[in-house]
Amino acid sequence: MPETIKHPVTIPTEKKVGCHSCGLSYLCIPHGLSSSELENLDTIVKSRLRTERNEVLYHAGDNTQRIFAVSSGSYKTFIINEQGRKQITGFYLPGEIVGLDGLGGICPNSTAMALETATVCEISTPELLDKLCQANHNLRNSFMRIVSREISREQQMMMVLGQMSAEARLANLLTGFGVRFRERGFSATEFNLSMSRHDIANYLGLAVETLSRLFKKFQEKGYIRASRRNIKILDWKALYALSKSNCHRKNRGNQNHPDK
């Protein structure tokens, strides 16, 4: 089904779950906060929003004034340039924050779309900032850490796209998802991806055909067993090594830079 025929309206649900009773709090803003700090945070978390597959949570350029904590399901974010070329900039799992490119009253650069039925906790950023200011260092730092980690994550992606071979990119993606699933209490070695091969290929800066051949290659080598979106990692060590070591470009620039 074409992505665009889905209507882009989010459906508010009635139930409001507090951060203190949320099973994801250890991954989300609440991580490391005291009970009273949690209550403080709770007051600014609005209702949950539910989005269906391919439904847009917010568009690039929307004056959202909100960020979103993924509660269930998953999202992709992407940017589209003047020529219509798309680049997926992130996949977001429960406990992760979407919309950090739209803080401080500016409009987000990216569009967020649900990869499957998914829900988010909606957080008004003006209110969040007010609350953070009334709160203590803990809550403030907790939020700033999330922002900084998003920047660091994108820097790592620049390394992947700028320096890594196609093999290393996929290995990196697979082990990365493994780690993130494990953090969420699932298996690190067997999981279902919620995104298509097209999405993965775009995210990794590869052609779909190349990606398909890589999946085949990894299977033939016994690293994984992949059946459509179901992935089983059979040789974590090999994948991990691949993800770290295999680069498509010899390190000839700045040879004299021994801080390797």
Kindly identify the residues of this chain, within the stretch 209-238, that bind a second copy according to CB under 8 A: none
Residues in the chain: 260
Based on the shown chain and the rule CB under 7 A, indicate whether residue 216 belongs to the binding site for DNA. yes
CA dist 167 and 172 (Å) reads 8
Binding partner of residue 106 among a second copy, DNA, none, CB cut-off 5 to 8 Å per kind: a second copy
- The answer to whether the CB of 144 falls within 8 A of the CB of 80 is no
According to CB under 8 A, which one of 17, 208, 234, 238 is a site residue for a second copy? 208
**Of DNA, a second copy, none, which one does residue 215 interact with (CB within 5 to 8 Å by kind)?**
DNA
Looking at residues 179 to 198 of the shown chain, list those that interact with DNA (rule: CB under 7 A). Answer: 196-198
Nearer to DNA, 72 or 117 (CB): 117
6 secondary structure, DSSP code = S
Indicate the DSSP class of residue 19.
G
Among 60, 129, 226, 238, binds DNA (CB under 7 A): 226
User: In this structure, are residues 244 and 227 in contact, taking their beta carbons and an 8 Å threshold?
Assistant: no
Look at residues 27, 25, 30, 75 and name the one whose alpha carbon lies nearest to residue 49. Answer: 75
Pick from a second copy, DNA, none: which does 167 bind, CB < 5 to 8 A by kind? Answer: DNA
Locate 127 and state its tokens.
């209110």
Residues in 24-53 at the binding interface with a second copy, rule: CB under 8 A:
none
CA distance 255 to 249: 13
Number of residues that bind DNA (CB under 7 A): 28
HSE value, Cβ hemisphere, 13 Å, CA-based, for 232: 4
Stretch that binds DNA, among 63-71, 98-106, 128-136, 246-254 (CB under 7 A): 246-254
Window contacting a second copy (CB under 8 A); options: 43-51, 116-124, 223-231, 240-248: 240-248
